[in-house]
Amino acid sequence: MAWDQEKKDEVIAAYQDQNPTSENSIEIVKELAGEYEESPNGVRMILSKAGVYIKKSPATPSTKGAGDGGGGGTRISKVASQEALVSALTDMGAEVDEEIISKMTGKAAQYFTTVLQLGNSGPVDGPFNYNTPEQDTASFATKGEDAC
């Protein structure tokens, strides 16, 4: 059966009448889907577009083991990562090219934001060398040919 405005309004009202919470929202959607002969995804879409759907609470993050291959940490959206990069570039006084930044993945934006922030704070120990060019030359000269 097709979705007309009257049916949408009925589903939205029925959903709200059942006082949905993050714990019971999925069950309510399944009930309404059966009652209105629609798929649960269709009902959820209507409720989401109306701004009334309550999502299930995200599971509490578990600690990943060493063999999981997970990077850990908090997930940050692509847009938020790109905005942080723009902010880091602006703080440096660099010209921001929105077209290039909009094409970056979230991981790439996070990476470059971190590099820029660490680079602004001076030399750092670790896998990246954030020294000045003079320090790089001096460092290379003391390491000799083994550094290559």
Q: Could you give the C-alpha distances from 48 to 32, 55, 100, in angstroms and in order? A: 14, 9, 32
| Per-residue pLDDT at 45 exceeds 80 | yes
- State how many domains the chain has: 2
Question: Is residue 69 in a domain?
Answer: no
pLDDT at 143: 52
Structural domain containing residue 102? 78-147
Question: Does residue 39 sit in the same domain as residue 88?
Answer: no
Residue 139 belongs to a domain: yes
- pLDDT above 70: residue 141: no
Q: Which amino acid is at 73?
A: G
Q: Note whether 36 and 11 are within 8 A (CB).
A: yes
83 in the same domain as 44: no
- Residue 65 pLDDT greater than 60, yes or no: no
The model's pTM is: 0.41
